[in-house]
C-alpha cells in the first residue's frame, strides 16, 4: 500500500507543479516566463530522476515513477491543447 501511495504522491506533485505553472500556458504569464518556469520544473525533475536511479531506493523510485507518469500526462494535455487549437484555427478559415 505504501508503494502505491508514494507513486500517487509523485504523480500529484509533478502534475500539480506543472498545472500551477500552466500546462497550456493560457494568458496569465508571458511565453518567456512560462518557458522558464516549465524548464525549471522539468530540469529539477530530471535531476530527481537521476538521483533516484543512483540511490536505487524503492520508495524514492516509486515517487519518481509516479512523477514520470504525471509529467507524461501534463505533456499529453499540452499536446492535445495544441491540436485542438489548430483544429479550431483551420475550421474558422
Q: Give per-residue pLDDT as tens, 76-91.
A: 999 998 899 888 888 8
> What is the domain range of residue 43?
2-91
pLDDT at 11: 97
Contact 60, 2 (CB under 8 A): no
The structural domain count of the chain equals 1
- Model confidence over 53-75: pLDDT tens digits? 999 999 999 999 999 999 999 99
Query: Is residue 64 a contact partner of residue 10, using CB atoms and an 8 Å limit?
Result: yes
Handedness of CA 26, 30, 31, 36 (dihedral sign): negative
Q: Helices 31-55 and 58-91: crossing angle, nearest 10°?
A: 150
Number of other residues whose CB lies within 10 A of the CB of residue 57: 12
Amino acid at each position: 500500500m505504501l508503494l502505491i501511495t508514494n507513486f500517487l504522491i509523485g504523480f500529484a506533485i509533478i502534475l500539480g507543479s506543472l498545472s500551477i505553472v500552466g500546462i497550456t500556458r493560457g494568458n496569465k504569464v508571458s511565453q518567456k516566463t512560462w518557458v522558464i518556469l516549465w524548464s525549471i520544473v522539468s530540469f529539477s525533475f530530471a535531476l530527481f530522476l537521476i538521483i533516484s536511479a543512483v540511490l536505487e531506493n524503492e520508495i524514492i523510485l516509486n515517487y519518481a515513477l509516479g512523477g514520470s507518469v504525471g509529467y507524461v500526462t501534463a505533456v499529453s494535455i499540452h499536446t492535445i491543447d495544441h491540436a485542438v487549437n489548430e483544429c479550431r484555427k483551420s475550421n474558422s478559415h
